[in-house]
Amino acid sequence: MNFNQIETYNKNGVIVLKGLPAAPGYAIGPAHIYHRDKIETFPSVVLDPSEELLNLESAIEKSKKELSKIISISREKIGERTAGIFEAHALILDDQLLFGPILENIKNNRFSAEYSVDKEFSKYISVMKQSDDQILLERAADIEDLKSRLIRNLRKKRWESRLKHSVIIVAHSLTPADTLLFSRNEVLAYVSEFGGITSHAAIISRALNIPAVVGLHGAMSKISDEVQLIIDGFNGFVIINPDEVLLNFYSKKIKSFSRNHEKLKEIKNLPAETFDGHRIRLNSNIELVDEVDFAIANGAEGIGLFRTEELFFLRGNFPTEAEQIETYSTLAEKMYPETVVIRTFDLGGDKLLLEDYHEKNPFLGWRGIRMMLDKSHIFEEQLQAILISSVHKNVKIMLPMISTIEEIRQSKVILEKVKFKLQSASIPFDKNIEVGIMAEVPSIAFCISDFAKEVDFISVGTNDLTQYILAVDRGNEVVSDKFQEFHPAVLRALKMIIDGAHNENLKVSICGELASNYLAVPLLVGLGFDELSVNEHYLPEIKKLIRSSNISELKELTQECLLYKSHIEIIKLCNKYLKKIKWEYD
């Protein structure tokens, strides 16, 4: 059985629902239906406004006390930064601009406090709900929660958040406070009918490491209290009444997940930082969306390279725009709030050819961006799909095989055209989406300061760069010993690219195979790469290697290697370094 089969699983009594994967992880357990009181108020007139004002004052005080308790739990469980969300809520309770009209309404119009609070808060909620920005739209839920809290306290109702045993919470919607407070009990997972992956509740579930599936419309009518559920927070599945087959499948997943998790736990949440405090960002390269789960489980901070050609190889033809939108959006949602770099189709060379067209020198021929600019309708369709998937603002575009400035400019003209089209159709996307290039052709190294001025980031592809610098076809066995990744020219070209990009304040990442080579990692960090993007299997080991090093030593090592004339000397010194820090590798 695999995940695709689960979606179409059809057995008696088993119901499979698909929602948005808001926090990764798996859980099996009984459902607990959580009904939050529905708040309804009526424009009722009171006899004594002064009593109503006192009532409001004590409800505000009570709500502030609740929030300060939430803030302290939040600080303890998920840190200062996330606690800031609740501090902002507490600040709203002091907002004169908000409470001025509420007090007026009670004093002058003799409306009840409940009604006055509801009316004034709802005004702001509806303004926020009109935003076409997904993230701000979800913030309306926070204000809604604060309104309910105040009205509950005006009604002097108690605050319930204790549970009896380990359950999966199923709710219409979850507020950030609910999410945090339930976690004091043994909550196995969260399921909600509404909410998106950018909601504060989703952010908090991820921070708490509690799996969550949201946006599951109609779930409450299909799930009853105590019924058994399986939650797959990686893929967004909620399985009601699972049979033996599904239970076995997921029990195994949970076991292997927690086994791996245990192994990686000590290092997973630690940064890739040297002894002396130099921080590197560790991303993962992936080809299939399914790989993203393993990348997250292995501690990837983001996706540094998503190779879209795989979509092409799977079908033997270009994927439709709808298929692309689904793939890119799923990827962006799974990684949120971390970023995903999507590389546009890189075809030609050693990869599948678009047409029955044979070139004498395919590696020097019609490939990567060159092909896409000629097939601009395919390029436009892909850019449009990437833009549509960028609503959460965590997607970046990367152009492969760039060798001239014009290729960047032409690509940007096409991108602007697609942006205009989407804007005219009122389709939301990230207007400030970042555009970067792959540095894999030597011309970029020589003119790096010109190229850097045109883009938002640079990522180095070492396989092609090495091949073009040394004029060695790495697939040609006769000359394969000439393909030297540690050649002094490669090292010096990398230094030129990094220094030039840093001069323009750009971040430089490496997504080539060299970044997954333990022997090369000390050099790459010493050279000044800001990010390494590697195959997910290498993540923990490479992190361990970085954490066993000192940046000052790595810089020295690199300086020395930059003076060498042969790759043999460079490899020798790198080996010596690994031995010195007692690092073993195959």
Partner 1 sequence: MINKKVEIVNRAGLHTRPAATLVKLASKFKSDFYIYQDDMSINGKSIIGVMTLCAEQGSKLTLQFEGEDESEAAAEIEDYFKRGFDEL
Part of the chain binding partner 1 (CB under 8 A), chosen from 122-130, 231-239, 325-333, 364-372: 122-130
User: What are 575's strand-pairing partners?
Assistant: none
Interacting residues with partner 1 between 373 and 412 (CB under 8 A):
393
Helix axes 551-563, 488-503, angle to 10 degrees: 120
**Three-state SS for 150?**
helix
Q: Which of 6, 28, 117, 139 binds partner 1 (CB under 8 A)?
A: 139
Q: Which of 14, 98, 163, 562 binds partner 1 (CB under 8 A)?
A: 98
Part of the chain binding partner 1 (CB under 8 A), chosen from 139-147, 208-216, 493-501, 575-583: 139-147
**Three-state SS for 281?**
strand
**Three-state SS for 509?**
strand
Q: Which of 47, 97, 425, 478 binds partner 1 (CB under 8 A)?
A: 97
Q: In terms of CB distance, is 8 or 505 closer to partner 1?
A: 505
Q: How far apart are CA 296 and CA 21, in angstroms?
A: 13
Part of the chain binding partner 1 (CB under 8 A), chosen from 136-144, 234-242, 291-299, 506-514: 136-144
127 binds partner 1 (CB under 8 A): yes
201 binds partner 1 (CB under 8 A): no
Cα distances (angstroms) measured from residue 569 to each of 203, 562, 563: 48, 10, 10
Q: How far apart are CA 231 and CA 192, in angstroms?
A: 12
430-469 mask for partner 1 (x: CB under 8 A)? -xx-------------------------------------
Part of the chain binding partner 1 (CB under 8 A), chosen from 124-132, 151-159, 292-300, 520-528: 124-132
Q: Which of 54, 88, 314, 427 binds partner 1 (CB under 8 A)?
A: 88
84 binds partner 1 (CB under 8 A): yes
Q: Which of 200, 278, 281, 367 binds partner 1 (CB under 8 A)?
A: 200
Is 200 among the catalytic positions?
yes
Q: In terms of CB distance, is 99 or 446 closer to partner 1?
A: 99
Q: Please report how close the Cβ of residue 70 comes to partner 1 at its closest, in angstroms.
A: 14
**DSSP state letters, 11-60:** -TT-EEEE-EEEE--EEEEEEEEEPPPPP-----B-S-HHHHHHHHHHHH
**DSSP state letters, 302-363:** SEEEEETHHHHHHHTSPPPHHHHHHHHHHHHHHHTTS-EEEEPP--STTSPPSSS---SSGG
Tokens representing residue 434 in the block: 């970042």
Number of residues in contact with partner 1, rule: CB under 8 A? Answer: 25
Q: Which of 17, 23, 143, 289 binds partner 1 (CB under 8 A)?
A: 143
Is the peptide bond prior to 428 cis by the omega test (within 30 degrees of 0)? no
Tokens representing residue 75 in the block: 């600080």
Give kind and range of the element (H or E) at residue 283: strand 279-286
The contact set with partner 1 (CB under 8 A) reads: 81, 84-85, 87-88, 91-92, 95-98, 124, 127-128, 131, 133, 135-136, 139, 142-143, 200, 393, 431-432
What amino acid positions are annotated as catalytic residues? Answer: 200, 511
